[in-house]
């Protein structure tokens, strides 16, 4: 992915805006769980709902809604989908 794109923690993204997963900074069982849910580098992901306390956050990824705790989504780096597309054309 291009270095020109501003990176965000997944926990800080705007609702209903598409992002592309750039990297995942966890290991072991948590990494396996994320990969099993389809949270893989290069995948489009959109935050679609937050709980009243903003934790957890529901994300649409590969046609499925998954909920992640904020402390887990902080370890996932994303870029805006529009920036990613522009930088790779």
Q: In the structure encoding, which two tokens stand for residue 23, read together? A: 């990297």
Cα–Cα nearest to 59, from 69, 80, 45, 71: 45
| pLDDT at 2 (0 to 100) | 44
CA angle at residue 72 from 70 to 73, to 5 degrees?
Answer: 65
* Interval 4-52: pLDDT, tens: 679 999 999 999 999 999 999 999 999 999 999 999 999 999 999 999 8
| pLDDT at 54 (0 to 100) | 85
Separation CA 33–CA 39 (nearest Å): 9
Question: Is 26 in a helix, a strand, or coil?
Answer: coil
| pLDDT at 88 (0 to 100) | 60
pLDDT range class, residue 85, cuts 50, 70, 90: low
Cα–Cα nearest to 21, from 2, 40, 5: 40
């Amino acid at each position: 992915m291009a270095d020109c794109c501003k990176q965000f923690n997944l926990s800080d993204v705007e609702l209903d805006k598409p992002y592309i997963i750039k990297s995942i900074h966890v290991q072991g069982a948590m990494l396996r769980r994320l990969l099993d849910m389809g949270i893989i580098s290069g995948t489009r992901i959109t935050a679609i709902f937050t709980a009243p306390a903003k934790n957890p956050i529901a994300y649409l990824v590969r046609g499925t809604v998954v909920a992640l705790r904020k402390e887990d989504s902080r370890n996932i780096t994303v870029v805006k989908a529009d920036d990613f597309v522009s930088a790779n054309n």
